[in-house]
Amino acid sequence: MENIFKIFLLVILYVYAAVRMPYMKNRDKIKYVKDKNKKLEKLNVFIAWLGMCLVPHLYVFTDIFMKYSMKIPIWGRCLAAFLMILDVVYFYYIHKELSNNWSPILEIRENQNLVTTGVYKYVRHPMYTQCWTWVFLQGIVASNTFVWIFGLLSWGLLYFSRVFNEEKLMIEQFGDEYKEYMKKTGRIIPKLF
Ligand code: SAH
């Protein structure tokens, strides 16, 4: 049974990467006019990559985290796996909505527009909501404390070092339009936070 969860995690990770790939490729073709904390951003993205990609791969291909395995019932792991499928569909949808404005680090592209439609009508950072749920669910599917905690911490580091700076950058770029937008939206949860 463990192997089934391992295969699932591997496949869903590659589906996730495949969703992002075209935007990653596209990004190289677009000129960026402004960035913020570039070096720190790159370092934190790398640390998040460790927790969201390397550690899950080590869980799949080695037994080094075996001593951290948790006793989560099969049904709980299956439910988390199902939610991860929904999460990746949501990830696809957000990418479509944000389109060429997406960037792996904090940047403003040439002709960037402020997206306030779709799920962006309710939250300013739907992709970050998605990342939180993703790292939470991957640890449950793996049923492993290390995968869980390291995933949450590595993503949390990127999130907390970025989100406030991102909002500052957006205000620099879009001014009152973004300030107004902030009043109408939650940060990662509609209305609440
Ligand atoms: N924080 C957003 C986007 C993540 S990608 C989310 O969670 O969905 C990061 C890039 O998106 C940043 O470089 C920023 O320039 C851009 N960005 C963030 N919010 C945006 C918006 N509402 N419209 C257009 N671009 C946005």
What digits encode the pLDDT tens for the residues 156-174?
999 999 999 999 999 999 9
Terminal Cα distance for the chain, rounded = 38
pLDDT tens digit sequence for 44-59: 999 999 999 999 999 9
User: Is the C-beta atom of 41 inside 6 A of ligand 1?
Assistant: no
Closest CA to 77 of 143, 11, 149, 10: 143
Angle between helices 126-142 and 2-27 (to 10 degrees): 160
Mutate to test the pocket of ligand 1, among 41, 98, 162 (most ligand atoms within 8 A of CB): 98
Of the pLDDT bands very low, low, confident and very high (cuts 50, 70, 90), residue 28 is confident
Q: Could you tell me which residues come within 8 angstroms of residue 141 by beta carbon, excluding any fewer than 6 positions away?
A: 5, 8, 9, 77, 80, 81, 84
Report whether pLDDT(95) > 80: yes
Mean pLDDT of the region 69-82 = 97
Q: What is the mean pLDDT of residues 100-129?
A: 94
Q: From the CA of 171, how far away is ligand 1's center (Å)?
A: 12
Q: Is 91 in the pocket of ligand 1 (CB under 6 A)?
A: no
Confidence (pLDDT) at 31 = 84
Closest to 52 measured CA to CA, from 166, 126, 148: 148
Quote the CA–CA distance of 149 and 157 in Å, as a whole number: 12
Answer whether 96's CB lies under 8 Å from 120's CB.
Answer: no
| Ligand 1 atom nearest to 105, measured from its CA | 13
Distance 159 CA to ligand 1 centre (A): 13
The tens digit of pLDDT for each residue in 120-140 reads 999 999 999 999 999 999 999
pLDDT at 142 exceeding the cut of 90: yes
pTM above 0.85, yes or no: yes
The confidence score (pLDDT) of residue 57 equals 97
Closest atom, ligand 1, to C-alpha of 115: 23
Residue whose C-alpha is closest to residue 125's, from 88, 164, 96 = 164
Enumerate residues 6+ apart whose C-beta is below 8 A from 69: 143, 144, 145
Give the tokens for residue 57.
């791969």
What DSSP state is assigned to residue 70? -
Q: Would the CB of 102 count as within 6 Å of ligand 1? A: yes
Nearest CA residue ID for atom 9, ligand 1: 103
Mutate to test the pocket of ligand 1, among 45, 163, 166, 167 (most ligand atoms within 8 A of CB): 166
pLDDT of residue 137: 98
Task: Fill in the amino acid letter for 175.
Answer: G
Q: Tell me the one-letter amino acid at 27.
A: R
* Residues 6 or more apart in contact with residue 48 via CB below 8 angstroms: 154, 155, 157, 158
